Amino acid sequence: MTIAFQLITSAAALGEFCEHAQGAEFIAVDTEFVRTRTYFARLGLVQIQAGERTALIDPVALAAEDDGQALLPLWQLLADPQTTLVIHAGGEDYEILHQHMGQLPNAIFDTQIASAMLGDGDALGYAALVEQRLGVAIDKSQSRTDWMKRPLAPEQLDYAAADVFYLQQLYPELYELAQTQGKLELILQESAWQAHKRAQTIPDEWQFLYFGNAWQCDPEQLSVLRELVAWRYQRARSSDLPLGFIAKDHTLLDLARQMPDSKNKLRYFKELSPVTIKYAGDALLGAIAKGRDNGPLDIPLLRLTDLPNYKTMFNAIKKLAQQTADELGINVALIASRRQINDVLHWCWQIPSHAQDQLPLPDLFTSWRGAKLKQPIEQLLK
């Protein structure tokens, strides 16, 4: 099926479309972006279905048109609390929209969350959901498009249009089912929470608490690792490069454990790029020295599975999650994954209270999950 769409490349056309979209009962939204060689995602396209109109909004063309205000009507439309945004698996979409809008969209209905809670299967992809619900097979061959390259080919634009055209058709069906099954409020709360989660930030100084193998460090090495992890985030943002381009995780761990004190010694770390050593070597060595000067870090990070009562407490929380799932009539995987249970144990057992004051709560302690699980889990852990 050929989908008719409007490619918007001017501020005038965008303003007219956004005015039209304000009158729609809801709008279907998707974004296309590129994030292969940068820290910050680069927005390549915004797709919106409003009523019978499908618009592909080109931020690359619009950014070249004026002083950066051309997209303002779009951000105002998406921020309007009276406008319901229908989106599928919006995690990264929320992140890049927050980056550009300076705030989160309002009134979100995530069709992946809805389909999972309605029993279609966990984390069903858009194409699979469209085929399952609407009987339409979508061509996904353009999923690896470079969305920053211009001009975009007709088949790429067709692919982008399909991402919102069928989303608009899915929403009324899923909404009605959600109401019938008494799950609408739960779906809306989870959709809002997933967007909120993407806007949360962890201060650089506490990022090491979430570093996978930090437990391998002794207290002095942990102090160095804290500074190295913070340095990598700062370097990645200032250079707009992926974290792994600055230094991979295992390289940071090796640096923390060996604590080199000269550029010559940095060259022994084979996966540390010569460019990083040349342009950021002094700052890297400064981070190592700062960690050593601060002295041993009195935060006993251990491997969770080595902690006393880990298995007992993990299973007890899993049982609580199953009880909640039975009560709500949804799959337990939507309540608490293994990672989410580990996160809450890590939070309660290993993150010091003065750090907790500056960090986002674990998933099981917030939103509708927290209302059901926070108090029972805290009682368990006492």
Catalytic residue among 32, 58, 190, 363: 32
159 among known catalytic residues: yes
93 among known catalytic residues: yes
Catalytic residue among 58, 95, 110, 163: 163
CB atoms within 10 A of CB 179: 12
Catalytic residue among 94, 159, 166, 171: 159
Catalytic residue among 93, 95, 190, 343: 93
233 among known catalytic residues: no
32 among known catalytic residues: yes
30 among known catalytic residues: yes
Active site residues: 30, 32, 93, 159, 163
